[in-house]
Amino acid sequence: MNRYFPVGGPVSEDDLIDRELFLEGLTRRLSDGQNILLAGPRRIGKTSLALEVLRRLHREGYDVALVDMFGITSVRELTEHLANALLENRTGVQRTVEKLRDMVRAAHTEVRVSVQGIELGLSFARRQGSEMDLLEEALAITDKLIRASNTRVILVFDEFQELSRVDVNLPKILRSHLQQKPHISCLFLGSKPTLLAQLFSQGNEAFFRYAVSLPVPEIPPDAWSDYLVRKFSERGISITPAEVGVLLKLTGGHPQDTMLVASEIYYALIEMESQVVSLTVLEIAYQRALESLMRAFEELWGSLSEHQGAQQLIKKVAHGERPYGQNASPARVGRILTYAMNRGILIKVGRGQYEFFEPMFRDYVMRL
């Protein structure tokens, strides 16, 4: 059963608002062999879009795999995540590599490990060999998948900018492997646009011009309105366009924050034994949503203290001032702005003009 106004993670197809044309195009591009980059701040729905694309491609018979780079600390760990994701398509078993490893340990003689007709190297199951050799063996699974099904393999790398943190040589090594495998299409996701732009746009970087960069489209107010009216009406709750407009003004249409406030509206109405959204209910719900985000906002605000003058600069932007002042060092301001954009705090809207990506965080800063 789907969560009602889902927050805190990927959403189902029913809660992907006004994304159908984008999803169709993304699915077609990947099935045609294009490599795609989706970059943008966290919590705007990139992973939800990727998961829906993988569901559609898997239904069409493609082998698909999602590897989340967030939290991966070694090439060996990356290798196992990749192999598990690839093999799960065929086995239906999570952490397939660990199961195979148990089989190899239990064997007293040499064994041949085969999964759905795909024979795997014993060195991989036994964790033998160098990390890079094991990575090559994991990527070789894609060759066996293509021979077994005669179709393309789709790989999704989430938080791809973390690749260099795992190993500085990994981007070049992975690019070298991928470009030798024309049957693989890649979808790269990342929440640090500046780092990703460098990785895919600078001539000295391994993934220079390797993927087509597509912007994640914003959700239009009309689409939000249709969705919210429909969702509330499913529970017998009425909300007028005026209240929807106030909600979207408070959240700026930020996907996760809008869902969060809508969720708080729903539970506030249950407590009040009401089925009508009013401005009073909206205010109560907004304050509750802001309180629930407080710890995350405090952590984000605290991270700015690591950069001299960053908190003062963010306050200036919150009050509508331009970040580049008469006495400000352009180089230092530039570094702070780059950091703030990579953290999903600010977005650039024009020459020397920046806005908060998340209006609720701006509200938090204004209240400090």
The domain ranges of the chain are 19-214, 219-304, 307-368
Predicted local confidence at residue 342, as pLDDT: 85
Match domain 219-304 to its CATH number in 1.20.81, 1.10.8, 1.10.3470, 1.20.120: 1.10.8
On the question of pLDDT at 110 being above 50, the answer is: no
Is domain 19-214 given the CATH code 3.40.50.300 in the classification? yes
For residue 118, give the 3-state DSSP assignment: strand
Q: For strand 353-356 and strand 346-350, is the pairing parallel, antiparallel, or unpaired?
A: antiparallel
Averaged pLDDT, 28-54 = 92
215: left (phi > 0), else alpha (psi -120 to 50), else beta? beta
Average pLDDT, the chain: 87
For residue 308, give the 3-state DSSP assignment: coil
For residue 156, the Cα-to-chain-centroid distance in whole angstroms is 10
Structural tokens at position 69: 């780079």
Question: Are 19 and 10 in contact, with CB atoms under 8 Å apart?
Answer: no
On the question of pLDDT at 124 being above 60, the answer is: no
Q: What is the pLDDT of residues 296-333, one digit of tens each?
A: 999 999 999 999 999 999 999 999 988 887 677 888 89
Structural tokens at position 73: 């600390």
Predicted local confidence at residue 24, as pLDDT: 97
Looking up tokens 């082998």, which residue turns up?
Answer: 63
> HSE on the CB side for 52, CA within 13 Å?
21
Helices (H), the chain: 20-31, 46-59, 75-91, 96-106, 122-125, 131-149, 163-166, 170-178, 193-201, 221-234, 241-251, 255-272, 279-304, 310-318, 330-342, 359-367
Question: Which residues, at least 6 apart from 303, have a Cβ–Cβ distance to it below 8 Å?
Answer: 343
pTM value is 0.84
For residue 94, the Cα-to-chain-centroid distance in whole angstroms is 21
Among the ranges given (158-172, 249-263, 288-302), the one the predictor scored with the smallest mean pLDDT: 158-172
Q: Please tell me the class of the 307-368 domain.
A: mainly alpha
Q: Tell me the DSSP string of 60-83.
A: TT-EEEEEE-TT--SHHHHHHHHH
On the question of pLDDT at 148 being above 70, the answer is: yes
